Amino acid sequence: MASYSTSEFKSGLKILLDGDPQTIVENEFVKPGKGQAFNRVRVRNLRTGRVLEKTFKSGESVEAADVMDTDMQYLYTDGEFWHFMVPDTFEQYAMGQAALGDSAQWLKEQDVCTVTLWNGEPLSVMPPNFVELRIVQCDPGLRGDTAQGGTKPATLETGAVVKVPLFVEEGETVKVDTRSGEYVSRV
């Protein structure tokens, strides 16, 4: 069982806390001149996304979380599970809605995502930063309205709804930034 001492704390370190894998977001060393030393950390729960503060006595050890990021290809969904494959080994993983969260709306078959595994089980998935998706539904754009810089909602093939400029038409493919959920360009 691997563990980390507080002196190894730094942002990005994955530790096991309250039974959940958590990543250190911020680590601060606090010590009165003549007193007890502490490490005050902000951690993000990798399962729930919750951020909280925790204080450790300096010198204590905390169990490491066996968390690993792996690139996987998204294969398909059967409605209940989303299936992924490690391209090199053909190893497959199935993930439920809870682990996917908002990522599901960006997943297109064949795209390569970063899947976070905890003790070999999928914990979360990070879609590519940019995806190219076809518009399956949007209202026709009105000419002349472009001066306003107006936008309209468009439904993409994966079900995501993004705001697109008025000149973009149904059936076109657009590039979207999945981190912000914003339209980037036509493809």
Site for another protein contains 8 (CB under 8 A): no
Q: How far is residue 134's CA from residue 172's CA, in Å, rounded to a whole number?
A: 6
Selected from 40, 42, 108, 163, the binder of another protein by CB under 8 A is 40
Least distance from C-beta 24 to another protein, angstroms?
Answer: 13
Least distance from C-beta 37 to another protein, angstroms?
Answer: 7
Site for another protein contains 35 (CB under 8 A): yes
Please list the alpha-helical segments (H only) found in 40-143.
97-100
Q: Which residue has the tokens 């680590």?
A: 27
Of 37-45, 141-149, 151-159, 167-175, the window that binds another protein (rule: CB under 8 A) is: 37-45
Site for another protein contains 3 (CB under 8 A): no
Q: How far is residue 62's CA from residue 43's CA, in Å, rounded to a whole number?
A: 13
Q: How far is residue 85's CA from residue 107's CA, in Å, rounded to a whole number?
A: 13
Toward another protein, which CB reaches closer, 53 or 69?
53
Q: Which residue has the tokens 């998935």?
A: 125
Q: How far is CA 88 from CA 76, 77, 142, 148, in A?
A: 18, 21, 48, 49
Toward another protein, which CB reaches closer, 61 or 77?
61
Q: Which residues bind another protein (CB under 8 A)?
A: 7, 17, 28-38, 40, 52-60, 62
